[in-house]
């Protein structure tokens, strides 16, 4: 076959503008091709070239495509190039055009790889390529999976179903907020974190309205999955588990956590702040572990499961003394390790706690006073079960938030500029891939460093945005408080009286919805009695949504109507 070849074409290519301008690589390839053709005794009828173009895709190279068209017209019987990577950078392109050219009687000659049909080595190489094509067809499914995973990891596609509240925009290649579902999600958060409704009750309420989570009916399990999903503060983690069949007796798949390096993280528009999400997780964990007993005497202890010992970290539990003749009994709270037995302490390698027993009435009054302050805006205090109002203080001033909001806005802008620079730098690194003189190890080192710096900046941007949102929300709340004080200051005394008359269950509900974390009990000293006492330390905030819910349930606010019936319409937050 080779002896009959008279006409051949040459093809040269360089991938960077610098190489194209200097012409060194082009001239080297030209000399190599000319020498080979001369040694074979063939005629070089034309040379095709592409300057400063990547070889990633053959159809983006005009010189290459012109050569293919001329070959199909019979202008030459062979194409010579310095190495396979000059002709095609991927197997798919090589096999495609090699077959098209072979059908037209055109052979390929690669100088470096020695693909020359006129030699034994060239014949073997062609057979090897055919074998490789067969192998490629057998493994196409695996390649498609890998490609799909790569596109998923890069955010170019989405595998599976988006979380409730989001939808995949295939054109824009991103997850976007589904406003209708997002509204329902915020309702779920409000009912659970704000109104302290159980997951089952939330599911029932949504089901009564005919609502569904995508196509699935709401249930306590669905609500739990939604509340635990970190996607809602903008951090959506996928590809976390590998599932195995036949591991369980019920036939369901067992899942095993994959290494963190294989996890796929989608940065998506948040529906709540990370702080709000973390508070939900704390509440969820708390609800899992809190006491399930519902006897009457346990219900009297509305601080149960809300107390922790500040001395040893143990749980503070309720208990009561011996029954009196009238059937009543003294109530106490005490640290588990203050009353624990010796064996339990030995097993836990703990010692007896010094926190004294606390009379329930005293502790509950102190904690309730602290909880009520945010609701009544420090306008008085309970003394002997009676609310004593104080003079209305100055209205809250929200101007101090403006400076913080402005500063955080500048921080976000600055970090976004840094991120843009890092993205530009990464693109420049990738532009060097086609440069044969570029050190691949150096490229890898630069890309890794760029990735690390990008992750750090992205983390700072997320944190700054969260702080900005928190400052804006705090300012908004202060404005609401100020308006509330202006319009409703005359009813604070009556509101306080109603709040103090709540049942233990409702007091517990309001306490759980208002206390940030738990109440820490620490040792203090009572000079009047010359003895050590337990002092409660807590942080509480007003929960206006829960307060309004109690009004709608008729638990407070009946004084708004002349006949004393329930009419919360005159009390808006």
Read off the pTM: 0.39
* Residues 20, 52 contacting (CB under 8 angstroms): yes
Q: Does position 396 have pLDDT exceeding 50, yes or no?
A: no
For the stretch 429-450, pLDDT in tens is: 777 666 666 677 777 788 888 8
For 562, other C-beta atoms within 10 Å of its C-beta total 7
Residue 353's pLDDT is 84
Residue 104 token pair: 């037209």
Residue 392's pLDDT is 41
Strands (E), 413-475: none
Best CA proximity match to 305, nearest among 508, 21, 42? 508
Distance from C-alpha of 308 to C-alpha of 153, rounded to nearest angstrom: 43
* Residues 537, 367 contacting (CB under 8 angstroms): no
CA distances from 1 to 73, 84, 101, 123 (A): 19, 21, 15, 11
Best CA proximity match to 377, nearest among 541, 499, 552? 541
Q: Does position 80 have pLDDT exceeding 90, yes or no?
A: yes
Q: Which fold has domain 166-287?
A: Hect, E3 ligase catalytic domain fold (3.90.1750)
Q: Which helix (H) or strand (E) holds 179?
A: helix 179-189
183 CB-near residues (< 8 Å, 6+ apart): none
pLDDT band of residue 110 (cuts 50, 70, 90) is confident
Which residue in this structure is represented by tokens 């609401």? 480
Distance from C-alpha of 72 to C-alpha of 102, rounded to nearest angstrom: 10
Q: Does position 195 have pLDDT exceeding 70, yes or no?
A: yes
Sheet with 307-309, edge to edge strand ranges:
307-309, 519-526, 531-537
Distance from C-alpha of 43 to C-alpha of 285, rounded to nearest angstrom: 81
User: Can you give the residue ranges of every domain in the chain?
Assistant: 2-138, 166-287, 292-392+502-542, 400-489
**Three-state secondary-structure class, residue 63:** helix
Which residue did the predictor score with more confidence, 333 or 526?
333
Which residue in this structure is represented by tokens 């959506």? 236
Catalytic residues, by residue number, are 15
CA distances from 69 to 10, 48, 73 (A): 14, 12, 6
pLDDT band of residue 45 (cuts 50, 70, 90) is very high
* Residues 245, 286 contacting (CB under 8 angstroms): no
Which residue did the predictor score with more confidence, 130 or 573?
130
Which of these ranges, 91-95, 366-370, 568-572, has the smallest mean pLDDT?
568-572
Distance from C-alpha of 279 to C-alpha of 515, rounded to nearest angstrom: 11
195 alpha-carbon distance from chain centroid: 25
Distance from C-alpha of 226 to C-alpha of 502, rounded to nearest angstrom: 32
Residue 549 token pair: 């819910």
**Three-state secondary-structure class, residue 103:** helix
Distance from C-alpha of 298 to C-alpha of 16, rounded to nearest angstrom: 78
Class at the top of the CATH hierarchy for domain 2-138: alpha beta
Which residue did the predictor score with more confidence, 277 or 137?
277
**CA angle, 228 as apex, 226 and 229 as ends, to 5°?**
65
Q: Does position 238 have pLDDT exceeding 60, yes or no?
A: yes
For 112, other C-beta atoms within 10 Å of its C-beta total 12
First to last CA, the chain: 92
What percent of the chain is modeled with pLDDT above 90? 11
Q: Does position 294 have pLDDT exceeding 60, yes or no?
A: no
């Amino acid at each position: 076959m080779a002896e009959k070849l008279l006409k051949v074409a040459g093809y040269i290519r360089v991938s960077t503008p610098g190489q194209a301008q200097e012409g060194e690589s082009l001239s080297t390839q030209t000399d190599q091709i000319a020498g080979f053709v001369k040694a074979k005794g063939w005629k070089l009828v034309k040379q095709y070239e592409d300057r400063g173009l990547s070889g990633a895709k053959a159809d983006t190279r005009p010189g290459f495509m012109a050569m293919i068209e001329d070959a199909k017209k019979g202008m030459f019987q062979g194409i010579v190039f310095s190495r396979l990577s000059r002709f095609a950078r991927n197997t798919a392109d090589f096999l495609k055009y090699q077959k098209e050219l072979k059908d037209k009687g055109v052979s390929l000659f690669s100088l470096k790889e020695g693909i020359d049909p006129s030699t034994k080595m060239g014949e073997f190489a062609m057979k090897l390529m055919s074998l490789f094509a067969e192998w490629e067809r057998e493994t196409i499914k695996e390649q498609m999976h890998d490609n799909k995973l790569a596109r998923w990891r890069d955010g170019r596609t989405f595998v599976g179903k988006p979380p409730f509240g989001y939808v995949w925009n295939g054109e824009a290649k991103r997850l976007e907020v589904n406003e209708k579902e997002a509204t329902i999600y915020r309702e779920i958060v409000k009912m659970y974190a704000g109104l302290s409704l159980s997951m089952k009750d939330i599911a029932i309420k949504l089901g009564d309205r005919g609502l569904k989570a995508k196509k699935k009916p709401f249930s306590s399990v669905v609500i739990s999955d939604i509340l635990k999903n970190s996607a809602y503060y903008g951090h959506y983690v996928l590809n976390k588990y590998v599932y195995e069949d036949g591991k369980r007796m019920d036939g369901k798949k067992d899942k095993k956590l994959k290494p963190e390096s294989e996890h796929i993280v989608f940065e998506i528009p948040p529906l709540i702040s990370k702080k709000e999400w973390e508070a939900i997780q704390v509440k969820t964990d708390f609800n899992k572990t809190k006491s399930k007993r519902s006897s009457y005497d346990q219900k009297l202890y509305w601080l149960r499961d809300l107390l922790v010992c500040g001395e040893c970290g143990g749980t503070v539990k309720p208990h009561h003394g011996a029954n009196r003749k009238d059937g009543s009994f003294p109530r106490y709270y005490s640290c588990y390790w203050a009353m624990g037995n010796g064996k339990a302490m030995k097993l836990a390698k703990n010692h007896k706690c010094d926190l004294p027993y606390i009379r329930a009435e005293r502790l509950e009054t102190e904690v309730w006073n602290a909880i009520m302050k945010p609701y009544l805006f420090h306008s008085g205090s309970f003394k002997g079960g009676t609310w004593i109002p104080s003079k209305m203080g100055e209205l809250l001033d929200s101007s101090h938030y403006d400076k913080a909001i402005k500063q955080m806005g500048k921080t976000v802008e600055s970090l976004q500029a840094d991120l843009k620079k890092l993205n530009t730098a990464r693109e420049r690194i990738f532009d060097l891939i086609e440069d044969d003189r570029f050190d691949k190890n150096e490229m890898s080192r630069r890309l890794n460093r760029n990735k690390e710096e990008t992750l750090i900046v992205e983390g700072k941007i997320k944190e700054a945005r969260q702080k900005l949102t928190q400052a804006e929300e705090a300012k908004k709340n202060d404005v609401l408080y100020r308006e509330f004080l202006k319009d409703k200051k005359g009813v604070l005394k009556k509101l306080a009286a109603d709040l103090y008359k709540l049942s233990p269950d409702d007091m517990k509900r309001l306490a759980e919805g208002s206390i940030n974390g738990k109440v820490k009990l620490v040792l203090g000293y009572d000079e009047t009695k010359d003895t050590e006492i337990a002092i409660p330390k807590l942080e509480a905030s007003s929960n206006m949504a829960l307060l309004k819910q109690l009004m709608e349930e008729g638990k407070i606010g009946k004084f708004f109507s002349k006949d004393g019936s329930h009419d919360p319409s005159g009390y808006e937050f």
